[in-house]
Structure 1
């Protein structure tokens, strides 16, 4: 039997087996994505605040390589100080453009902002707006953001522009105002039990990922990393966080951000978030290479998703397996390759995987569950 917790323990690879039945079960209405090609760098990062100047140093050794600090109305001195602090690390910055400039339609002010910081080595991309479809009393105009996007590109053609959304049915009108599509959904609330949110989250993530694919946008998923009854949220359990993390990798995300560092829990970060990041980083080269289309995996259960990735310059593989069930299940994987060894974590209640061909001793498959 495989419990969700055991299944998502850590994986050096992932599998989307029985692709047909899996996607049929999603019953997508408009968008669908299968095996998406990614490009480096695969980014892992925190949201934070521009005033927290010590954060780049604190998180740079924990596998974090991107920060999105809220700027609001802070002075150029504080922005410069945060960027300079990041320069001392390998961390890059997704730099937010002050929202007042955009809401006031101050295009010349936006251009001045871009000119001021575009040559700083820490700036990776521009964060155009935070949930424009949720702006009150009325959503921010897609035409306005397209105008601002054009102004940004006139000053800096080299860096991508990002927008983050909560409501996926409102994203498409903004497609011409971004290069990076981001989505934030925080499903772990005080009144929802562990994994009771999985079905909706899974279906919605596939839809937004498919939209990014169709519109040729990079996609960064924003995962819940806060709780303790803030905004009626609870911290995700370790199993829930791993599910969101690896499902995001499975569907084709180009990176993950976590909301948000100044609301996070030190003990939760140390026991859940950072260990997950650390285990995953070793397998990024395989993930970037993409699913091994020559060695497809079959799985006996339609609610199990699996993908197999080749580790570059080796004969080894990484397999990622995600269990969408809320209960323990028995299942069988069949790998259409001349397999060698299966290297993975096993416990007494996990059945050994049966393979389509005999063990030949030439390769290894490492599995993180």
Structure 2
């Protein structure tokens, strides 16, 4: 029985990751225009913070799934909201909702919980996770984690870990500590689970009380620019993540900044989608230090091989210019490197255990095709 379960789980996870899910949090308004907008930039998943255990929440969830199905998209379905875990009949009601929705064709993944903390919560989530594996073993369970002291205790509560960190506040480029985002992913690699990070596309002015506690004027806050979004995307991909989500569509729309999504966030996401399609089915090789070992390196390097083609990725993990050749942890095929996508045109080559490039700009991403 256990062997059958493991085989089903592996088949299910492999299918999900072959598609490299790209999704947005808080898709609202949930209408044709919103689904068409995200689909335009290669996004195929969405999530909403709906309360399943109310009449209004159930109705909204029905609509959410039907709208996604209409647009050939999938849902990261929010399973737990409010105090349902502490209710006397909470587990029974959760099971009822799992049974209600588990066979819907638009259900892609269960969203177990948002940033849990504490032993009591861990035990509750382990119970729900076991229930999910019993009722719907072929549907992956995802769990969002914040960078808290005890995040590691939730390792066995989900199939997929979704770390979140949103470092761009009021700092001018390149001073925002973007490395906080990738450093958390680096640490989560130690959990040994597939990772789908949650990247920032919102402006912190939408959460004034949070930034005011840090003596930051909400009006001084800004959106991540294209270079920062590119760093989120490819800095994560260098660590072999299995998808990306973005927080949040609702914040952008409520701020009246659809133009930001259309002109900046969307194109950055589309570039990631284009590259993941290019390397789909390819073999990943980490060219930096072992993932999760000690502190993250000052730059990430990775490669993908597919058929007779090869692509290399080099990412500056600092907000400073990094001059010189970039040493690799293992040999790579030698050849010249041709810029791909939005990569800056610069003479570059790879030879043995070095990428030869004059300099990396702050937080810069370089994606190349290898010319043998």
TM-score by length of 1: 0.74
| Inter-partner Cα distance in structure 1 for 2:237 and 2:325 | 22
CA contact 2:30–2:67 (8 Å) conserved in 1: no
CA contact 2:18–2:280 (8 Å) conserved in 1: no
From 91, 95, 98, the equivalent of 1:107 is 91
CA contact 2:340–2:368 (8 Å) conserved in 1: no
SS in 1 for 2:47: strand
From 332, 337, 348, the equivalent of 2:333 is 337
Quote the residue 2:36 is aligned against: 57
| Inter-partner Cα distance in structure 2 for 1:110 and 1:129 | 13
CA contact 1:209–1:253 (8 Å) conserved in 2: no
Shift of 1:91: 1.0
Quote the residue 2:369 is aligned against: 366
From 72, 75, 80, the equivalent of 1:90 is 72
What stretches of structure 2 of length at least 5 have no aligned partner? 1-13, 212-220, 290-296, 353-366
Quote the residue 1:45 is aligned against: 23
Shift of 1:124: 0.9
Greater RCO, CA 8 A, separation 6+: 1
What stretches of structure 1 of length at least 5 have no aligned partner? 1-36, 358-363
| Inter-partner Cα distance in structure 2 for 1:50 and 1:355 | 46
SS in 1 for 2:348: coil
CA contact 1:49–1:70 (8 Å) conserved in 2: no
CA contact 1:132–1:140 (8 Å) conserved in 2: no
| Inter-partner Cα distance in structure 1 for 2:111 and 2:264 | 27
| Inter-partner Cα distance in structure 2 for 1:169 and 1:177 | 17
| Inter-partner Cα distance in structure 2 for 1:91 and 1:125 | 12
Shift of 1:271: 2.3
- 2:261 equivalent to 1:269: yes
- 2:142 equivalent to 1:162: yes
In the TM superposition, what whole-angstrom CA distance separates every residue of 1:299-319 from its partner, at most 9, and x where no partner exists?
xxx733221211x23x22212
| Inter-partner Cα distance in structure 1 for 2:131 and 2:21 | 26
Shift of 1:237: 1.9
- 2:225 equivalent to 1:237: yes
SS in 2 for 1:253: coil
CA-based RMSD: 3.1
Quote the residue 2:312 is aligned against: 319
SS in 2 for 1:95: strand
| Inter-partner Cα distance in structure 2 for 1:256 and 1:346 | 18
SS in 2 for 1:306: strand
Alpha-carbon distance change, 262 to 199 in structure 1, aligned in 2, over 3 angstroms? closer
Quote the residue 1:151 is aligned against: 131
Quote the residue 1:78 is aligned against: 60
Alpha-carbon distance change, 53 to 354 in structure 1, aligned in 2, over 3 angstroms? closer
CA contact 1:47–1:259 (8 Å) conserved in 2: yes
In the TM superposition, what whole-angstrom CA distance separates every residue of 1:34-89 from its partner, at most 9, and x where no partner exists?
xxx99412111000157624433332232001111111243322211111111112
SS in 1 for 2:144: strand
SS in 1 for 2:304: strand
- 2:284 equivalent to 1:291: yes
TM-score by length of 2: 0.73
SS in 2 for 1:187: coil
